[in-house]
Amino acid sequence: MKLIGMIARTGAALWIYNVWFNRFDKDTGYRGRGAKNMREEFEAYGLSENTMYAAGAAKVGLATLMLVGNVVPKLARPASTGLAGLMVGAVGMHAKVGDPLKRSVPALSVLAASIVSAVIGAGNDA
């Protein structure tokens, strides 16, 4: 179970890094309301640029703590739970703007990996 948690944490963290560092200014086909980049996506949700940067910092920070949780297990569960909470918000934003389910798949995937990490992957070490 510990290995599954490590894989889930690492996968979720790398996904977050990819979105916020490699795909920030790119059209991915999964952005809310058909936005072409992260700024347009947050605008489509009715959220400010400051909120975008705060959400990004929180997600990247928690993703980093998830990776550190692979070697410092007591960080795994809180970081994974925090990222899961943010991903519930991301799915909610897609629902708010009436996106088809397909656009929520990445957020749902990171949510699922975060839950796996928090529930079964952190074990008794967290």
Break the chain into its structural domains and give their ranges: 2-125
At residue 124 the predicted structure's pLDDT band, cuts being 50, 70 and 90, is low
CA atoms of 62 and 108, how far apart (whole Å) = 17
Q: pLDDT tens digits, residue range 77-107?
A: 999 999 999 999 999 999 999 999 999 999 9
What is this structure's pTM?
0.93
